[in-house]
Amino acid sequence: MKNIIRCCALLFLLPLQFSGIANAAGENPDWLSCSDMRDKEPVTIELDCYRQIAQNPAASHKSLMTTRAHGLVKEWQPINALLNVHKQNYVLVYARASQINSAPTSPNPQNQVLVPAPMDDRDLKFQFSMKHDLADFHRYGSLWFGYTQLSFWQFYDAANSRPFRENNYEPEFIYSLLPGGLMPDVRFNPDIFNFGVVHQSNGQSNPRSRSWNRVYIQPGMERTDGKDRRLILLVKLWHRVKEDAATDDNPDITDYLGHGEIELRYGLDGKWEASAIARARSFQLDLAAPWESIRLLTLAVPGEHNTNIHLQYFNGYGESLIDYNHWHTSWGIGMSFPFD
């Protein structure tokens, strides 16, 4: 048991350490920290930041990982890093569901689970999501590869050897366009326009196999209050790529997950963030805040922390692929990667 806990700790703390290193802006600033100074610091300070990088060869090398940039446009500007944050990254050390899907179903007879499997209603749930810029076309956009993994680990089910209940793998290619320099300046111009091709599957064999392929467009807009408060709206519309009816694991998946989603984020840069994702028949709410913002936690575990306290609530269909047509409510508490 101790070895399992150590492995899990290393798995999730190593990326956090790298992200802290990548964003240290003191003696060894990186490109992202210099970019964040724009419009917030005098031009001379911003230029001095870039000058330090130019004089320090080690600083100009690509870092392993960055945290999410402050602002929608900056999130999709290629920077000098191997990995960039894509979707949210979190570990819910305790997540509980109202109803367990012990016998998953599908209209395809090959994907009917006939013998129910014993399941715990508690999971250790985590999501890891990164992207990498493959090509920078400057004012004509950029090409990215993204990867997201969402996992549900039956950590509390010792009687059944703590199996992974579900893993969802989601690779995608994204062409991101920043239309600011290409379109007339009107009030409701999108700040970004993404075009994507995405595959999502759970990597299992029949009858538990679930997968689908989509193409999508995603415009996004953001508004600030002139300081650090930021409101971001992302609208993603997708079209499912048709499959052979005989081998389609989940032919009615769009009846439950719909043809798109709306994501709304509101937060204070480098501090807290609340986000909501709504689909046709589901809703998810996430709230992340620095450890130091909760006084009782600071008193209980003093010192510096580079993680956020993360709360999550889900209601509806499709929290995971195996549950695409299974309704339930779940909630969880844990940690998410820092904003800074």
pLDDT in tens, 29-60: 565 667 666 666 676 777 777 677 666 655 44
Report the share of the chain in percent with pLDDT over 90.
57
Q: Is the pLDDT of residue 174 over 60?
A: yes
Strand boundaries in the chain, DSSP class E: 63-65, 81-85, 90-97, 122-136, 142-153, 164-177, 192-201, 211-224, 229-240, 260-268, 273-279, 282-290, 308-317, 327-336
* Residue 122 token pair: 């508690």
Helix, strand or coil, per DSSP, at residue 61: coil
Helices marked H in the chain: 2-22, 31-35, 43-55, 57-60, 72-75, 253-257, 295-300
Question: Across residues 96-117, what is the average pLDDT?
Answer: 94
Identify whether 332 is part of a domain. yes
Q: Give residue 34's pLDDT.
A: 72
Q: What is the pLDDT of residues 143-171, one digit of tens each?
A: 999 999 999 999 999 999 999 999 999 99
Q: What is the DSSP letter of 155?
A: T
What count of other Cβ atoms lies within 10 Å of the Cβ of residue 205?
6
Identify whether 8 is part of a domain. no
Identify whether 39 is part of a domain. no
Any residues with CB less than 8 A from the CB of 40 and at least 6 apart, and which?
Answer: none
Q: What is the CATH number of the domain that holds 116?
A: 2.40.230.10
Identify whether 310 is part of a domain. yes
Q: Give residue 180's pLDDT.
A: 72
* Residue 225 pLDDT level (bands cut at 50, 70, 90): confident
69 compared with 272, residue with greater pLDDT: 272
Identify whether 201 is part of a domain. yes
Alpha-carbon dihedral sign for residues 262, 267, 271, 275: negative
Identify whether 43 is part of a domain. no
Report the share of the chain in percent with pLDDT over 70.
75
Task: Please return the burial class of 173, using the count of CB atoms within 10 Å of its CB with bins 0-12, 13-18 and 19+.
Answer: middle
Q: Are 231 and 204 in contact (CB under 8 A)?
A: no
| Amino acid sitting at position 268 | L
Identify whether 222 is part of a domain. yes
* Residue 128 token pair: 């890891």
* Residue 51 token pair: 């000058």
275 compared with 305, residue with greater pLDDT: 275
Identify whether 207 is preceded by a cis peptide bond (ω within 30 of 0).
yes
Alpha-carbon dihedral sign for residues 321, 327, 332, 338: positive
* Residue 24 pLDDT level (bands cut at 50, 70, 90): very low
* Residue 306 pLDDT level (bands cut at 50, 70, 90): low
Q: How many domains does the structure of the chain reveal?
A: 1
Q: Give residue 333's pLDDT.
A: 96
In angstroms, rounded to a whole number, what is the distance separating the alpha carbons of residues 231 and 268?
9
* Known catalytic residue at 199: yes
Catalytic site residue from 132, 199, 259, 328: 199
Q: Is the pLDDT of residue 62 over 90?
A: no
Host domain of residue 209: 66-336
Q: Is the pLDDT of residue 297 over 60?
A: no
* Residue 154 token pair: 């039956």
Identify whether 205 is part of a domain. yes
Q: Is the pLDDT of residue 126 over 60?
A: yes
Catalytic site residue from 61, 151, 161, 201: 201
pLDDT-wise least confident of 20-24, 64-68, 82-86, 182-186:
20-24
Q: Are 68 and 90 in contact (CB under 8 A)?
A: no
List, as one string, the DSSP characters of 260-277. EEEEEEEEETTS-EEEEE
Q: What is the pLDDT of residues 206-218, one digit of tens each?
A: 999 999 999 999 9
What count of other Cβ atoms lies within 10 Å of the Cβ of residue 39?
7
